Amino acid sequence: MNAPTSSLPDGTSRSPGRGRPRDATRDTALRTAAMEVLADVGYRALTMDAVAARARAGKATIYRRWESKLDLVIDTCNELVQRNIPEPDLGSVPADLGEFLRAFAAFLTGPAGKAAQALVGELPHERELADAFRESFLLPQRNVLRRIVERGVERGEISPQAPMDTVVELAGAALLHRLMLTGEPLDDRFVDRLLQDALLPLLRRDG
């Protein structure tokens, strides 16, 4: 097990397991440790002990907050997505899609993407995990994309007959496919090509 490589976000150091009241900074440090352990060893091999060791916390501290590793991983996933998936509203579909997809690509390129990848192989075997992963990770991303396109329809920028569902699905698929399967770069250049070659032309069709 590796020792933790970073101090707590607020820069203080704390001794673990003293039964102090829960605080948000501590929760964030524990979730960060959970994400790192997940990325390193995968869901199946993740233990509450390993997360505690990585966060220099007592196991009891973790169990006071999350009742199981499923609970911890789902909460970590939820919180990461909420903190990292922006919803731009810049007044045009190309600007909003570009902003969102660049941010999502950057998010996936970081440690969260490794953690997400570590979960994917487990989804067929872990029904609750699969449901939670879809609800907390895939759905918010898809909903932001959908709202971006719907605002374009309201402004008269996009035809209501454009294949909105397909475009929303393909945008997420393209990024996650590179992250998890091909290993090709998930950079601004890729996002721009995806927009110019595929997503924007499809949205400009009249159905």
**Residues binding a copy of itself (CB under 8 A):** 39, 42, 44-45, 114, 117-124, 130, 134, 138, 163, 166-167, 169-170, 172-174, 176-178, 180-183, 193-194, 197-198, 201-202, 205
**For the packed helices 111-120 and 24-41, what is the interaxial angle rounded to 10 degrees?**
60
Which residue number, 82 or 166, has a Cβ lying nearer to a copy of itself? 166
Radius of gyration from C-alpha coordinates of the chain: 19
Closest approach of a copy of itself to the CB of residue 1, in Å: 16
Closest approach of a copy of itself to the CB of residue 63, in Å: 26
Which residue number, 19 or 206, has a Cβ lying nearer to a copy of itself? 206
DSSP 8-state class, residue 195: I
Closest approach of a copy of itself to the CB of residue 170, in Å: 6
Contact between 55 and 31 (Cβ < 8 Å): no
Which residue number, 2 or 25, has a Cβ lying nearer to a copy of itself? 2
Cα separation, 36 vs 110, whole angstroms: 11
Write down the residue that tokens 């509203």 correspond to.
89
Which residue number, 53 or 176, has a Cβ lying nearer to a copy of itself? 176
Closest approach of a copy of itself to the CB of residue 174, in Å: 5
Closest approach of a copy of itself to the CB of residue 150, in Å: 17
Which residue number, 71 or 126, has a Cβ lying nearer to a copy of itself? 126
Closest approach of a copy of itself to the CB of residue 195, in Å: 10
Which residue number, 106 or 120, has a Cβ lying nearer to a copy of itself? 120
Residues 95-119 as b or e (16 or more Cβ within 10 Å = b):
ebbbbbbbbbbebbbeebbbbbbbb
**Long-range residue pairs from 204-207, CB within 8 A, at least 24 positions apart, any chain:** 204/158, 204/159, 204/162, 205/159, 205/161, 205/162, 205/163, 206/159, 206/161, 206/162, 207/159, 207/161, 207/162, 207/163
